[in-house]
Amino acid sequence: MSYKSPDDSASADPGQPPTVLPSGAVLADEGIEQQPRGVSRRTLITGVAAAALGGLVVGGAVGGLIGRSSGQRAGSASQNRPLSIIYGGDVCDAPSIVAKEKGFFTEAGLDVTLHRTVGDEDIKAAVGSGQYDASSGIFYSWLKPVEEGQNVKFVAGLHAGCLRLVVPKTFKGEVAALKGATIGIPSLSSSATMFFSMDLLDAGINPLPEAKQVNWKVLDPSTLADALRRGQVDAIATSDPIAYRPVLDGYGVELASNMSGMNKQAYCCCTALNGDLVKNEEPLARKLIEAWARGSRYVAGHEEEVARIEVDKKYVAGDVATITKLLQGYVWKPSVTRLKASLLPGIEKFKKTGYLGSSADPQQLADQAFRTLGINW
């Protein structure tokens, strides 16, 4: 991964030497207000890969990373430094929530904080830059940023299930009938957008926004279900609990999911760790993965308890009964080896959507993005 030199950083104060992280990234001046950037397909798909490659780590990254002492950096990493996991507020964030609330992280000797993403915060860029140490999500949505140099490593698959493509009850036909349709999504780089692009491809529809064979309409996640009910979109592609609401309320039906069909996945969400954590603090990273996976295993058989934790602690918006039902519909069998086995065929299929560069080598990308950390389950 290549970064610009300190002299190339537009935010650097020429009178003061910039702070350079062990990864080579240059910290922006905390006193400089970052200007909002225009939204484009490239920005949404790659997150802030370009900014990371340009050597800028902004906002919360500054405080979080400067706070690490020299003894916690490459070559002499602390085994007990605080770790941060960023999550989106979905039902399937249960493994990290359980590991936190049931004390599995603490029992492993870890000090883990969970941070809820806000607004249009790019989780992939936040983890790749080191602003946060880890997150979870379907690996397809991380592939473009990783291809372009984002410093992220996959380790373990956490669970199967959580993404749905939902249409109105009056919809007639299969996925192929969505050609020319408007599909509501939380972002162009979301897990659902990336996954269901493969279903569209199988149905003979080019999923790329510029192909205009479907109209991807980015909406605030909380408004997606209502947008479908009001007819503002022809379908929605997102994660639970929002994806399930139209089905539960009787005005929508599930057209496809990542739990069935040609593109059925052994894992929806996998762990995505900052590459420097994996490279320089492997024992710490391994403990994090093991406790995280313990949280996943706990969900099976304890779905109602976990649903109550998610609701009562305000991690997830919804009611206990519905979230219990959703958790019972997922598969909670975390694995490093099964994730590894699914990566290459998954990348080969995903490349056909056109989101990756034509010269992208699936095997090279799989090798670049994955580490076992010595774990063999």
Residues 245, 216 within the same domain: yes
Q: Which residues contact 71 (CB under 8 A, 6 or more apart)?
A: 78
Residues 115, 90 within the same domain: yes
Element (H, E) at 195: helix 191-202
Residues 97, 148 within the same domain: yes
Mean pLDDT of 103-114: 97
pTM of the model: 0.77
What pLDDT shows up at residue 72? Answer: 40
| Beta-carbon-side half-sphere exposure of residue 248 (alpha carbons within 13 Å) | 16
CA 329 – CA 42 distance, rounded (Å) = 34
- Over the chain, what is the mean pLDDT? 82
Residues 183, 148 within the same domain: no
pLDDT one-digit tens code per residue, 334-372:
999 999 999 999 999 999 999 999 999 999 999 999 999
- Amino acid identity at 188: L
CA distances from 354 to 45, 99, 178, 293 (A): 12, 37, 19, 32
Give residue 101's pLDDT band: very low, low, confident or very high (50, 70, 90): very high
pLDDT one-digit tens code per residue, 45-90:
333 333 333 333 333 333 333 333 333 433 344 567 999 999 988 9
Element (H, E) at 26: strand 26-27
Question: Where among 257, 287, 322 does a domain terminate?
Answer: 257
Q: Which residues contact 240 (CB under 8 A, 6 or more apart)?
A: 90, 91, 92, 162, 163, 164, 326
DSSP letters for 124-192: HHHHHHTSSSEEEE-THHHHHHHHTT--EEEEEEEEB--EEEEEETT--S-GGGGTT-EEEES-TTSHH
pLDDT one-digit tens code per residue, 183-242:
999 999 999 999 999 999 999 999 999 999 999 999 999 999 999 999 999 999 999 999
Residues 315, 354 within the same domain: yes
pLDDT one-digit tens code per residue, 268-277:
789 999 999 9
* Position 42 in a domain: no
Mean pLDDT of 141-164: 93
DSSP letters for 55-93: TEE-THHHHHHHTS-GGGSTTS--SS--EEEEE---GGG
Q: What angle do CA 229, 324, 114 make, to 5 degrees?
A: 90
pLDDT over 60 (residue 302): yes
Report how many domains make up the chain: 2
Residues 135, 175 within the same domain: no
Residues 182, 221 within the same domain: yes
CA dihedral 157, 48, 58, 271 (to 10 degrees): 0
Cα dihedral sign, 318-116-127-6: positive
Give residue 301's pLDDT band: very low, low, confident or very high (50, 70, 90): very high
- Structural domain range at position 226: 163-257
- Amino acid identity at 150: Q
Residue with the larger pLDDT of the pair 117 and 322: 322
Give residue 108's pLDDT band: very low, low, confident or very high (50, 70, 90): very high
What pLDDT shows up at residue 38? Answer: 35
What pLDDT shows up at residue 22? Answer: 37
At 87, give phi and psi (nearest 5°). Answer: -135, 165
Question: Where among 257, 289, 318 does a domain terminate?
Answer: 257
* Position 131 in a domain: yes
Mean pLDDT of 299-321: 96
